[in-house]
Amino acid sequence: MTGQQIIDIITGAISVMIQISLPFLGTALVVGLIISVFQAATQINESTLSFLPKIAAIILVLTILSPWMVVKIHDYTKQLYEKIPEIGRTK
Whether the CB-CB separation of 15 and 68 falls below 8 Å is answered with no
Whether the CB-CB separation of 1 and 90 falls below 8 Å is answered with yes
- Residue-range domain boundaries for the chain: 3-89
Give the whole-angstrom CA distance, residue 41 versus residue 83: 55
Sites in the chain below the pLDDT cut of 70: 90-91
Q: What separation, in Å, do the N-terminal and C-terminal C-alpha atoms of the chain show?
A: 6
The rounded Cα 69 to chain-centroid distance in angstroms is 9
Provide the residue count of the chain: 91
What pLDDT score does 90 carry? 60
CA atoms within 13 A on the CB side of 15: 10
